[in-house]
Structure 1
């Protein structure tokens, strides 16, 4: 057992990406498809979009940007990543960045928690460009997504947990991404004071803490 004496650091290594039925297409498109210059990667929060973006970053020498630093960064690379485009409010600047990347043959990976058709941009030119952009989605079922998140959170903290314990956590806890994150946080915290590892009785005590609203 390795104790977490410091705040955990999330791993974005390619070998740590967990491929499941609902994300295999997106993974293969990011890793193997070299034909696109602009792509929208969409899927629910916690589904692994940022992990895939980091994998693509390493393959392409890409830079994570925001709208404010795009102009300064544009000459530093030929590949860029702009995340959470559903949160963008400055649509004019976003359109400018999009057009600049397209016109100068820069690669641009965009991520979104919403499918392109569900984005509510008001600028018509921006709408049309987004809808015409190649997109690929992560469509994990709720149970599969929770299992993916749980395994990833435990792995990032270097916690070795059996499949029996993982199944127990999923069957006994509330079905939500935030709840899974809270449970892993408290497991990591409380495990420092125990030597028995992550067992079902230990997890049961953690879940009881949650019932007492101590999570």
Structure 2
């Protein structure tokens, strides 16, 4: 008699909450300047500041902390329109997330910067690269952006990188031990995005296979990646 075939366990992509409070922000030399910017408000060198860093480097986390402190509204650069600018600045503070070349209404952003100056409002703009690396067609906007102070977040050092792996696991309520952390930290790209992706893969596959997250599982998955 043929052996019984067991159905493959399905992994459901359940939402997980990532804590974006100040107490939950992992600070190190790589992001200390960003944390200092948030903590210094409202004593900023300029009412409009640019926070720049690679994908997953904590820009949104810092922006959320500042929004909580300042009562700022939050919008994405992609969604910004000229008509919406006055309402967006209604609280006197605004976060504009993920500013990229070709993905923003340049006239709307220029209007925002002008109105913020007139109303003495605060604006925090996040981007992956500084204004000098962006293709801005509107010359006045290009000049205005390049004159703004830029605070940069750097790639994580070893201590912060390990702490990030632990945090991403905790956000998913995923239990791991030091052997898994050490294995991942020495075998994946040292970037915020790589740490987040590796933890997401471990979580998904551990659920699908019905196995605990171990060094052996991590090694198996990275060999296949």
State the TM bucket, normalised to the shorter chain: 0.7 to 0.9
Contact kept, 8 Å, 2:56 with 2:193, in 1: the verdict is no
Secondary structure class of the residue paired with 2:14 = coil
Counterpart Cα distance in 2 of 1:172 and 1:8 = 25
The match for 1:126 is 141
Name which of 183, 195, 220 aligns with 1:208.
Answer: 220
The match for 2:110 is 95
Q: Unaligned 5+ residue runs, structure 2?
A: 1-11
TM-align CA RMSD: 2.6
2:31 is aligned with 1:20 = no
Q: TM-score, normalised by structure 2?
A: 0.78
Shift of 1:119: 2.1
Matches within 5 A, 1:1-215: 6-36=14-44, 37-65=47-75, 66-68=79-81, 70-71=84-85, 73-74=87-88, 76-87=90-101, 88-141=103-156, 146-147=161-162, 149-174=164-189, 178-192=193-207, 193-194=210-211, 198=213, 202-213=214-225
Contact kept, 8 Å, 1:47 with 1:149, in 2: the verdict is no
Secondary structure class of the residue paired with 2:38 = helix
Q: Unaligned 5+ residue runs, structure 1?
A: none
Structure 1 residues 148 and 98 mapped into 2: Cα distance closer, same or farther (>3 Å)?
A: farther
1:48-82 Cα distance to aligned partner (Å, 9 max, x none) = 00000000010011110241373363364111000
Q: TM-score, normalised by structure 1?
A: 0.82
Shift of 1:170: 1.7
1:135-169 Cα distance to aligned partner (Å, 9 max, x none) = 21112357567545423321211234344421211
Counterpart Cα distance in 1 of 2:178 and 2:41 = 33
Contact kept, 8 Å, 1:46 with 1:149, in 2: the verdict is no
